[in-house]
Structure 1
Amino acid sequence: MMTYNIKNGGLDGTDPSRLDRILEVVAEQRPDVLALQELRGLRRNHRRLDSVARRLGMRPYLAGGWFGQPVAVLVRPPGRVDLARPVPRPFHHGAQRVVLETDRGPLTVLSTHLDPYSGRRRLREAGWLVAGARRAGPDRRPLPERLVLLMGDLNSLDPWSRHDERIARLRPEYRGRHLLPDGTTVDTRTIAALDRAGFLDLFRRPGLAVRDTVPTSQGGGAEFSGMRLDYLLATPPLARLAGPCRVVTGGTAESASDHYPLVADFDLSFR
């Protein structure tokens, strides 16, 4: 499983080869399931999305953004998708959910990109994600008993780390995005709420180092200061099946986007 914010759909008037580099990064990892964010222009240009999916050998399931940019989940054959439907709420960007048949039972995957500007809106969107995961597919067991993976650019800092230095390094106009209304306290409510709902941060397991996901060394990102904003969050049954997790750095990943992609392996297969 892989998640990747590809920055404005890979479109760049000064660097037309960037989409090719994005696809190179993805092809090197060869994920079975891929969550993409910031798919600018792809909601109206289906041929371009189909071309991207075809080059990767995957099938795309797109969810349009309400105010921002679409997101998508791409699935590699022979994965069988039983449900593919956006979470029906006014997300700033969007949220797509698919339910896949695996040898371990139904797997719900959500790709999302939460509001970049407001912690209060991110917290509301997190609640919509939890509700959308609970309503996905025929499985009506409590969410913490099901196989669910939430991945994407959550634009949120985690409640388990110290963030004072990275907030101080931000330019003043961007600090408010990660502070409570008092202007001082770091806003970690979104990740804390998802944790309470039953999602486990796969990078908090023993032996795994928490790495920054933005910015890349050559991809820009003035609104970042060395931060982890991208996540792989799994319910406990799926977390028990998780193997190695990694942030993909180096080589082409340094210039393809302003975000590094995240990858995790799981002990399951398509049915």
Structure 2
Amino acid sequence: MTLKLMTYNIKNGGGDRLDAIGRVIAGEAPDVVAVQEMRGEPALGAATGMRQLVARSWRGQPVGLLVARHLRVIAAGRVARPFFHAAVWARLATPLGPLTVVGAHLYPYWGRARRAEAGWLAAFIKSQGESVLLADLNTLDPYSDHAVELATLPMPYRRRHLRRLGGGPDVGATALLARRGLVDVFRRCGTGQAWTVPTTRGGGAEFTELRLDYVLATPGVAGRFTGCCVVTGGEAESASDHYPLVARAA
């Protein structure tokens, strides 16, 4: 028995791209999808035949989870902290055993706010036991240099990824989650292209080739993952400015 997870930022609610987004999701046949930027709460559950759970936003855009009908939802809700966007969670009966899946979208503009939000996620996940975080963290990974990709961004967008003091890449949110024990699944077993923005035909002037979308897991679950990849090609090139990221566990 396997479990396939996806995280996908659909860009401002999807708009006239919703049918294409639904086809991209259906083509991968995931068991669970975390969806960011669900402006207007589009009915992706109906389009994909999955249950749809939505956490409404404080100031930004809602975040959702799509859950396949064959998985039992034990409990679900919204992480009750004042995220700029939101974080949604569901405790599921899965082939890997009971598992909490958290979908989240961190603050886009300032690293200090992202670190605070990452701390809230880490504290919540600690309370849940075995968990997976599917998220647009809006943060570079803490394992790479990033100088080359950041140098190509116009300064208004580059500032989003720089520390206010010292000017180097701001990786505080991802580094915090790593310190709290969450394992980067792509780093562990990912193959192919690592960057998740921008797509070739989906816009994204604020991006260069950056990895902003992640699957992170508690150690006991991380060891079950057998593969992780960015979904490219076909309608994934134009359905959003982000590529979906998928991971498989057994």
Q: Which of 84, 95, 119 does residue 111 from structure 2 map onto?
A: 119
RMSD: 1.3
Once the two structures are TM-superposed, the CA of residue 77 in structure 1 deviates from its matched residue by: 1.2
Match of 2:134 among 135, 151, 167: 151
Q: Any gaps of 5 or more consecutive residues in structure 1?
A: 43-47, 137-145
The range that moved more, 125-134 or 202-211, is 202-211
- Aligned-residue offset at 1:183: 5.4
Deviation at 1:206, TM superposition (A): 5.5
Matched, 1:134 2:129: no
Aligned to 1:232: 215
Structure 2 length-normalised TM: 0.95
Q: Deviations over 1:19-69 (max 9, x none)?
A: 111111001001111100000011xxxxx42xx212211101100111100
Question: Quick one: structure 1 residues 81 and 206, their matched pair in 2 at CA, closer, same or farther if it must change by over 3 Å?
Answer: closer
Q: Which has the larger radius of gyration?
A: 1
In structure 2, what is the Cα distance between the partners aligned to 1:210 and 1:154?
18
Q: Secondary structure at the match of 2:120?
A: helix
Which residue is equivalent to 2:198?
215
CA positional deviation for 1:209: 4.5
1:180 to 148, 163, 171: 163
Matched, 1:90 2:94: no
For 2:189 and 2:70, locate their aligned partners in 1 and report how far apart those are by CA, in whole Å: 33
Cα separation, partners in 2 of 1:207 and 1:223, compared to 1, 3 Å: closer
For residue 153 of structure 2, what is the aligned residue in structure 1? 170
Decide whether aligned partners of structure 1 residues 90 and 177 sit closer, same or farther in structure 2, where only a CA change above 3 A counts.
same
* Cross-structure match for 2:244: 261
4+ runs deviating over 4 angstroms: none
Distance 1:202 1:171, change over 3 A: same
Encode CA deviations 1:82-137: one digit per residue, 9 max, x unaligned.
Answer: 1111100110100001101134331010000000001000000001101122334x
Letter in 1 for 2:34: A
Q: Is the 8 A contact 2:57 2:86 kept in 1?
A: yes
Say which SS state the counterpart of residue 205 (structure 1) adopts.
helix
Match of 1:200 in 2: 183
TM-score norm. by structure 1 comes to 0.88
Q: How many residues align?
A: 246
Determine the structure 1 residue equivalent to 2:234: 251
Given residue 151 of structure 2, which amino acid in structure 1 is its aligned partner? Answer: A
- Which position in structure 2 is the counterpart of 1:143? none
State the alpha-carbon separation in 1 of the partners of residues 214 and 25 from structure 2.
Answer: 17
Deviations along 1:144-196, whole A, 9 cap, x unmatched? xx421001110000111110111111111111111111252111111110001
- The code of the aligned residue for 1:62 comes to V
The code of the aligned residue for 1:98 comes to A
Among the aligned pairs, what percent are the same residue? Answer: 52
Q: Distance in 2 between matches of 1:176 and 1:183?
A: 12
Q: Write the distance in 1 (CA, Å) between the matches of 2:158 and 2:190.
A: 31
Mapped partners of 2:96, 2:63: distance in 1 = 26
Name stretches of at least 5 consecutive residues in structure 2 with no aligned partner: none
Q: Which residue in 2 is equivalent to 1:64?
A: 56
Aligned to 1:100: 92
Q: Distance in 2 between matches of 1:27 and 1:210?
A: 21
Contact 2:190/2:229, CA 8 A, preserved across alignment: no
8 Å Cα contact 2:161/2:170 also seen in 1 = yes
Determine if contact 2:189/2:225 at 8 Å carries over to the other structure: no
